[in-house]
Structure 1
Amino acid sequence: MIVIVDKKLHEPMYIFLSNLCINGLYGTAGFYPKFLMDLLSTTHVISYAGCLLQAFVMYSFACCELSILAVMAYDRYLAICRPLHYSSVMTKRRLSQLIYLPQSIQNFIAIEFLLIPPVMNPLIYGFKLTKIRTRISAYLRQV
C-alpha cells in the first residue's frame, strides 16, 4: 500500500516490490483455503476441476514470482553495472532434492515454498530499502 499511496515511490524497483506482494496474495489465495480445509477435515478429497484450478493458480503464481524476481535482478544489474549474486536459497533447495530425505520432510520442503515467501517477501525486500523504511516510519508518526 505504501508504494501505491506515496508518489515518490513510483519507481521501477518499488513497483516490482508491490507486484511481488500482490502475487504473494494471489498465491496464498489459491493455496491456503484448500490447505486449511484439509487440515480441519478428516477427508482429503478435491474435485478434478478444483485440482486443475489449484494447479493453474500455483503454477501461474510460481511463474510470476520467478519472473518478477528475474526482472528485479536485471533491474539491479543495470543499476549497479555488475552481476547480482542471487540464489543461495535456490542452492539450498536444489541440494535438498539431491539428498535422500524421508517423505514427510520432502513434503514440508515442497510446502515451504508456498508458506514462507508470501510472509517474508514484504519484510525482506521492503524494510531493507531505506526509502520504504523512512516512508513507513513517517506515516506511523502521523497516525
Structure 2
Amino acid sequence: MYLISAGIGRTGTFIALDVLSRYGEEHDKINVIEFVKAMRKDRMTMIQNADQYVFLYHALYVYFRRKANFISRTEFIELYGEIEKPEKRRRLRNEFNAVISLKPHYTADDYGTGRRYMKLSFTNSVLPVVYQG
C-alpha cells in the first residue's frame, strides 16, 4: 500500500524554516507558534505532524547557531585559491570542526531504540533515529 501525499506538511515546514530564518536574521527574534498558526489559517494542514514541527525547531536551532560567513565569489577565490598553504588549511580545519560540533550525540539508548525500529529505515546500514516524546 502506498500513501499519497500532497506534500503540504513538508512544504509547510520548509516554508516556515525559510520565512522564520530570514525574519530572525532581520529582527533578531522569531515566534514559531504564531507563524505556524498564521500559515494554517490559509492552508489547514501546513506542518502536518509533531515530527515536522520538531524538525522545524531543530533546523532553526542549527541555523541560528551557525557562524555564517557569506563571501563573494571573488573573496572565495582569494581565500582558497592557494589551498596548500598551511594557514588556508588551518582555516578549513577550523571550519570543519565547527561543522562537526553541530552533529547530534547519540547514546546507547538511542542505538538500542534504533535497532528495535529498523523496519522504519530505508536501508539496513543506517539506524533510524526515533524521537520519543
**TM-score, normalised via structure 1 length:** 0.30
Q: Which has the higher helix share?
A: 1
Q: Which has the larger radius of gyration?
A: 2
**TM-score, normalised via structure 2 length:** 0.31
